[in-house]
A and B are shown apart, each in its own frame.
Chain A
């Protein structure tokens, strides 16, 4: 029990961030004391009620000015009824004293949802709101008790029977399994990142790409790609490792999940950020537009495409657009018209290769069996899908079906052999467009045969 709490604090303590590793050892001593105190407090049961309650207000006195409602409530509760909450007041005191050091536990948790157990979530926000209060004590000690307390309070509320020690060790175990052996350093790093986010100290490029959010987004959809869609990647070596390139793929699936997955694959296999070109509707919509920009997407227009390609970015485009993504399930894997060839002329002007990508599996995630064009028009949308589950099951219908995906990157089509004025030759542009389209279509057929059953 005594060593468990020691390892905790760095997660929640911004003060620690800079020198977390160094301080860690120093901190152990006070931590032990704190935990020991609590342990003894826990042992006292009903008999201890009264003294504990008395002790609490006394300790609270200095902190009382800062925090108000929250604190008062548990203090009042403690003497009244339950035996377990006895130590609660003692617990409560600590967080108030060291609240100042925290600044960000909320953020920590939101950033890496998977990392920490859910309970602290509820607790963390409170200290955070009180952040501005000045530091009442030294850094190290308070930071310590804080996390322990975070831990303890929900325990007392939710399940009075579970001992604190078990929860703490479970939390430490969890942190270790998620972050690895040097989780303390990693947690400190993470915290520094959170602090920079809060201070606005990060970069957004001209198109709106926020690389830090992009990395988080990728981490968020990775399990979906690996566990749910079981994506198989072929020909990843065809993704150019540097310089401008245009990735062209087939579009499907009612909601552009295929674009997100392709971005993930390019991110993981080539360590490059795929810059997507989206329809103007995407950017008009609230939230969707904001998210798209932060993930590095921009409007599908010649100016942006050429600027990105000229700057040496890898750009992703789905030339079928809404015609591809919103086609009925019965027409699955039949490529629609490939735009007006704008992507080819953009690539030709920049002299970058075109990488044809065939995506199998996205058609089955939301099989579109119907459409309500009149309502869609009313809402200003290109289509309003009806899937076997969508309007009927409500939000549950938004869960994509777990189809098996294969993404194949084809041999790049080089455009640098053409002279720059070739981009203005419509016949040539159409020919190259057809060549890319045909390549993708043929690969799709081959992949479909390979895959067999869509959901196995």
Chain B
């Protein structure tokens, strides 16, 4: 008998894509998708269960469907499309707790794959230039999504101690960037003018969703344990990314940056999350070599390639005519 995979958060872009991918993966019998909203588009081959992850219903789903692999994709930075900040936080934290509680009581679950974020490393001037999986963050996240991510990973570790028989793989995804995947950077970089902090030029990394899905499905089907950074190799400075997109940077002083930017971005009928502003001073660069070293997965898209792929799918910026095309 093949495997039965439960994917949480199938209504989201990455979750639904992963579920669809797993549905056609050989060796997987059934894919169960869990979310409060049905996944967008074709759900052929996915058994969609409408349930709130914050309720104990999850346990019943696990039992009824004989799920042996759980892929937790219902973790994400708050964005207006996902609902209010507090709702997103609750889904992140309470949802994970409920899911882990259900897994702990389940007799069938053998494997847990968790989508985390590189936000757990925080961002500050006191951190080394590159985070490895072992780097302790010197800027303890006090609030917001980074704190959620840290908490979620702590719960997962606790679960690992109580159920040592379950293989656990945690993937800290970098900034997923693609026009068709909702994410803070996908929205930000489509603004006609990019607000940035005066006197700071953060180093950034972008992750192509294709790579993210490859890694997650690799873990859902294979035997993977441990924590891995999943980031696009190489680095772009924010100013460089803006130039590549042909969008002008608007440098604003760091004092009052958040409120001014939020107001301004709202005028451009978009949304600016404070999670993003955190990155705008010091940026965040992670070392993703462990993934290649231990899992043998080589990233297909580097950070500049991810950005270039993104640039092709969005409207060209106003400055694109300058400097001609890149060779």
Contacts and interface: CB of A to CB of B under 8 A. Distances in A.
A103 interface: yes
A198 B285 contact: no
A200 B203 contact: no
A303 B135 contact: yes
B127 interface: yes
A88 to B, nearest CB: 28
B53 to A, nearest CB: 36
B128 A204 contact: no
Given A131-B322, A206-B285, A293-B203, A200 B128 contact: no
Contact of B321 (A131, A196, A286, A289): A131
A143 interface: no
A290 B323 contact: no
Interface in B274-327: 282, 285, 287, 318, 321-327
Nearest to B244: A200
B242 A200 contact: yes
A210 B237 contact: yes
B254 A132 contact: no
Nearest to B134: A303
A14 B245 CA distance: 20
B322 A198 contact: yes
Contacts of B241: 200
Interface string B24-51: 0000000000000000000000000000
Contact of A200 (B199, B243, B318, B321): B243
B199 A287 contact: yes
B235 interface: yes
B64 interface: no
Nearest to B201: A290
A14 B321 CA distance: 12
A104 interface: yes
Interface string A254-282: 00000000000000000000000000110
Contact of A206 (B129, B240, B318): B129
Contacts, number: 106
Given A198-B243, A210-B237, A294-B201, A283 B323 contact: no
A199 B326 contact: yes
Contacts of B240: 200, 202, 204
A289 B125 contact: yes
Given A200-B244, A205-B235, A286 B326 contact: no
A129 to B, nearest CB: 10
A301 interface: yes
Interface string B117-136: 00000000111111010010
A142 B218 CA distance: 58
A299 B126 contact: yes
Contacts of A14: 323-324
Nearest to A128: B322
Given A200-B240, A206-B285, A280-B125, A132 B321 contact: yes
Interface in B122-178: 125-130, 132, 135
Contacts of A203: 234
A125 B234 CA distance: 33
Contacts of A286: 197-200, 254
B201 A195 contact: no
A284 interface: yes
Given A204-B236, A303-B132, A304-B128, 15 more contacts: A131-B321, A195-B324, A197-B243, A198-B322, A199-B244, A200-B243, A201-B244, A201-B326, A202-B240, A280-B125, A299-B125, A303-B129, A303-B135, A304-B129, A307-B128
22 contacts: A14-B323, A14-B324, A104-B323, A132-B322, A198-B322, A198-B323, A199-B323, A199-B324, A200-B240, A200-B243, A204-B235, A206-B287, A207-B130, A208-B203, A283-B125, A285-B199, A286-B199, A290-B199, A290-B200, A299-B126, A303-B135, A307-B129
Q: Which 5 A-B pairs have the closest CB atoms?
A: A286-B199, A200-B243, A198-B323, A200-B244, A303-B128
Interface of A: 14, 103-104, 131-132, 194-208, 210, 280-281, 283-287, 289-290, 293-294, 298-299, 301, 303-304, 307
